[in-house]
C-alpha cells in the first residue's frame, strides 16, 4: 500500500451519508478555507478504507466517497515539479492562463461595445471558469461573450516559469490529458496505475468508458467554479491540498446553469463566493457536501 493520499479525512463511517451526488462540483486549491458565506455546505463526504464494501456500495449509488489508503496511483506519489520537469519530456501541454492586463482590455472592450457607462468588473484572477471553444466559435458574431481565460500549449519548462511568476498579474493552471507525448519514465509510471481496479469497478458501477486522464497542476488559491461534469471522476491528489464542493444533481434549478448554447454551458452562473441573490434567489435552497484532500 502506498502513501496515504488523504491524511485528513473529514467524515467517515458513522458520519451522515449525503444523498447521491453526481460530479458537479467546484475545485478549490489550498488557501481557500471555508468561507463564511458557505452556509450551503451541510456535511462532509464520508471517508472509508479503500475497498471497504460499504464505500463501494455507496459509489455504486453515485454517492461520493473518500477512499483512504487507495493505491490507485502509487507510482505517481513521487511526482512533484522537479520529477515532472526531468521526466515529462519536451512536448507541449495545455495551460489555462488568467492575465490581469488581458482582463482590463476585455472589460474596456466590452464597455465600449455595449456603450455601458457603469463599470464591469472582471472575475478575480484566481477563477478559472471553463468555456467551450466550439460553442464560442459558433456564436462569434451574435455574442459579446469575452473569455478572460486563454488556453495555451507550452513546454513544461515554459509552464514552470509562469507558475513561479507574479500571481497578482497572471495565474496559470496546467490541465493536460496524459497521452503518448509524455517521456518514457512518466509513461512507465502511468501504466503502473491500478488499471485493473478501475476496469473492474467501472463495470460494477456501470460507468461509461475510461475516457481521460487529466494531470492538473494549479497554483495555490486557484478555483475551478461550480460546474457539471459529464463523466464520473476518480480524483487522486498527489501534492498540496484541495477542497471539492459537491451538489446533488437535484440542486440543478438552484444553481442556474448557463443556457446550453452558451460558451459557459455546464457552468453555474452563481458565484459561490458572492452569490447575487437578486438574480439567483433559488440558490438559497442549494445544499452541498465538501471533501478536502491532501
- List residues near ligand AKG by CB under 6 A: 25, 27, 216, 224, 229, 233
Looking at the Cβ atoms of 194 and 222, the one nearer to ligand AKG is 222
Looking at the Cβ atoms of 146 and 222, the one nearer to ligand AKG is 222
**Residue 34 grid cell:** 471555508
Q: Can you tell me whether residue 16 is helix, strand or coil?
A: coil
Looking at the Cβ atoms of 111 and 228, the one nearer to ligand AKG is 228
Q: Can you tell me whether residue 60 is helix, strand or coil?
A: helix
For residue 233, the minimal CB distance to ligand AKG (Å) is 5
Measured distance between the N- and C-terminal CA atoms of the chain, rounded to whole angstroms: 17
For residue 55, the minimal CB distance to ligand AKG (Å) is 20
For residue 224, the minimal CB distance to ligand AKG (Å) is 3
- Scored b (16 or more CB within 10 A) or e, 215-228 reads bbbbbeebbbbbbb
Looking at the Cβ atoms of 107 and 216, the one nearer to ligand AKG is 216
**Residue 196 grid cell:** 485493473
**Residue 176 grid cell:** 493536460
- Under a CB-based contact definition with an 8 Å cutoff, are residues 49 and 69 in contact? yes
Which residue number is nearest to ligand AKG in terms of Cβ?
27
For residue 277, the minimal CB distance to ligand AKG (Å) is 25
Amino acid at each position: 500500500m502506498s502513501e496515504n493520499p488523504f491524511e485528513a479525512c473529514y467524515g467517515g463511517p458513522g458520519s451522515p451519508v449525503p444523498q447521491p451526488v453526481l460530479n458537479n462540483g467546484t475545485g478549490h486549491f489550498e488557501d481557500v478555507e471555508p468561507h463564511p458565506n458557505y452556509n450551503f455546505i451541510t456535511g462532509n463526504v464520508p471517508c472509508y478504507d479503500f475497498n471497504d464494501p460499504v464505500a463501494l456500495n455507496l459509489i455504486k449509488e453515485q454517492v461520493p466517497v473518500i477512499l483512504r489508503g487507495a493505491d490507485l496511483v502509487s507510482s505517481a506519489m513521487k511526482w512533484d515539479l522537479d520529477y515532472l520537469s526531468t521526466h515529462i519530456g519536451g512536448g507541449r501541454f495545455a495551460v489555462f492562463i488568467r492575465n490581469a492586463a488581458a482582463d482590463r482590455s476585455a472589460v474596456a472592450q466590452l464597455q465600449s461595445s455595449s456603450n455601458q457607462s457603469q463599470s464591469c468588473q472582471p472575475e478575480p484572477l484566481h477563477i478559472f471558469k471553463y468555456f467551450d471553444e466550439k460553442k464560442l466559435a459558433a456564436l462569434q458574431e451574435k455574442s459579446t461573450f469575452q473569455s478572460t481565460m486563454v488556453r495555451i500549449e507550452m513546454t513544461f519548462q515554459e509552464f514552470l516559469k509562469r507558475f513561479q511568476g507574479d500571481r497578482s498579474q497572471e495565474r496559470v493552471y496546467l490541465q493536460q490529458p496524459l497521452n503518448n507525448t509524455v517521456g518514457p519514465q512518466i509513461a512507465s509510471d502511468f501504466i503502473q496505475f491500478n488499471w485493473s481496479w478501475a476496469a473492474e469497478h467501472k463495470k460494477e458501477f456501470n460507468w461509461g468508458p475510461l475516457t481521460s486522464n487529466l494531470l492538473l497542476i494549479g497554483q495555490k488559491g486557484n478555483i475551478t467554479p461550480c460546474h457539471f461534469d459529464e463523466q464520473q471522476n476518480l480524483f487522486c491528489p498527489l501534492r498540496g491540498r484541495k477542497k471539492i464542493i459537491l451538489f446533488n444533481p437535484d440542486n440543478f434549478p438552484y444553481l442556474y446553469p448557463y443556457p446550453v448554447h452558451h460558451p459557459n454551458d455546464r457552468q453555474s452562473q452563481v458565484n459561490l463566493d458572492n452569490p447575487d441573490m437578486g438574480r439567483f434567489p433559488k440558490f438559497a435552497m442549494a445544499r452541498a457536501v465538501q471533501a478536502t484532500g491532501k
